[in-house]
């Protein structure tokens, strides 16, 4: 089985499944009971399919979509990638960022 990128998109999944299934967009659409333009729009990135549409298209190409949840490793914060942007902000803009983050956290706590 080919290894997909860690963050596969519906577009990349469909392109890879169709390529491996050696199907044209029209042939895949026919098998899935839809039209070629639907496949083209998804593969072109101009639309994102519903879960049902994506699984139907992948099934028609001969593949099954499996999803699993994995906890993110601790210690690797995605927030560190934002440090450079924050350091380029003015002191006033940094305070606005802090205020927005505090508002977000307060709203999240109220929902718990």
Let me know whether 42 and 14 are in one domain.
yes
pLDDT tens readout for residues 43-82 = 999 999 999 999 999 999 999 998 888 776 666 566 677 7
Give the ranges where the chain is alpha helix by DSSP (H).
10-20, 25-32, 36-44, 51-60, 83-87, 91-111
The larger pLDDT score, comparing residue 107 to residue 18, is at 18
Is residue 98 one of the residues assigned to a domain? yes
CATH of the domain at 25: 1.10.260.40
Dihedral (CA of 70, 61, 5, 51) sign: negative
- Residue 3 confidence (pLDDT) above 60: no
Dihedral (CA of 32, 34, 40, 42) sign: negative
Is residue 96 one of the residues assigned to a domain? yes
**Residue numbers of the domain that contains 18:** 10-60
φ/ψ of residue 50, rounded to 5: -70, 165
Residues 6+ apart with CB under 8 A from 18: 24, 25, 28, 39, 43, 61
Let me know whether 18 and 52 are in one domain.
yes
Q: What is the pTM of this model?
A: 0.59
Is residue 46 one of the residues assigned to a domain? yes
Is residue 4 one of the residues assigned to a domain? no
Let me know whether 56 and 87 are in one domain.
no
């Amino acid at each position: 089985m080919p290894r997909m990128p860690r963050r596969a998109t519906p577009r990349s999944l469909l392109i890879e499944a169709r390529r491996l299934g050696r199907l044209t967009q029209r042939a895949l659409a026919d098998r899935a009971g839809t039209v070629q333009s639907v496949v083209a729009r998804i593969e072109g990135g101009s639309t994102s399919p519903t879960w049902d549409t994506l699984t139907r298209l992948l099934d028609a190409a001969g593949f099954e979509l499996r999803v699993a949840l994995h906890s993110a490793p601790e210690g690797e914060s995605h927030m560190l990638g934002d440090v450079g942007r924050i350091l380029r902000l003015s002191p006033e803009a940094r305070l606005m960022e802090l205020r927005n983050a505090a508002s977000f956290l307060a709203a999240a706590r109220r929902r718990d």
